[in-house]
Chains A and B, each alone.
Chain A
Amino acid sequence: DAMVIQNPRYQVTQFGKPVTLSCSQTLNHNVMYWYQQKSSQAPKLLFHYYDKDFNNEADTPDNFQSRRPNTSFCFLDIRSPGLGDAAMYLCATSSPKGGIANYGYTFGSGTRLTVV
Chain B
Amino acid sequence: AQSVTQLDSQVPVFEEAPVELRCNYSSSVSVYLFWYVQYPNQGLQLLLKYLSGSTLVKGINGFEAEFNKSQTSFHLRKPSVHISDTAEYFCAVSRSNDYKLSFGAGTTVTVRA
Q: Closest CB of chain A to B93's CB: distance in Å?
A: 11
A42, B46: Cβ atoms closer than 8 Å: no
Chain A 81-116, CB-CB to B under 8 Å as 1, else 0, gives: 000000010101010100011011111111010000
A45, B43: Cβ atoms closer than 8 Å: no
How far is B90's CA from A6's CA once the two chains are assembled, in angstroms? 21
Judge if A43 is at the interface, Cβ distance under 8 Å.
Answer: yes
Residues of B within 8 A of A (CB): 32, 34, 36, 41-46, 49, 51-52, 90, 94, 99-106
Closest to B92 in A: A105
B90, A43: Cβ atoms closer than 8 Å: yes
Residues of A within 8 A of B (CB): 6, 31, 33, 40-45, 48, 50, 88, 90, 92, 94, 96, 100-101, 103-110, 112
How far is B34's CA from A42's CA once the two chains are assembled, in angstroms? 14
A104, B49: Cβ atoms closer than 8 Å: yes
Q: Closest CB of chain A to B58's CB: distance in Å?
A: 15
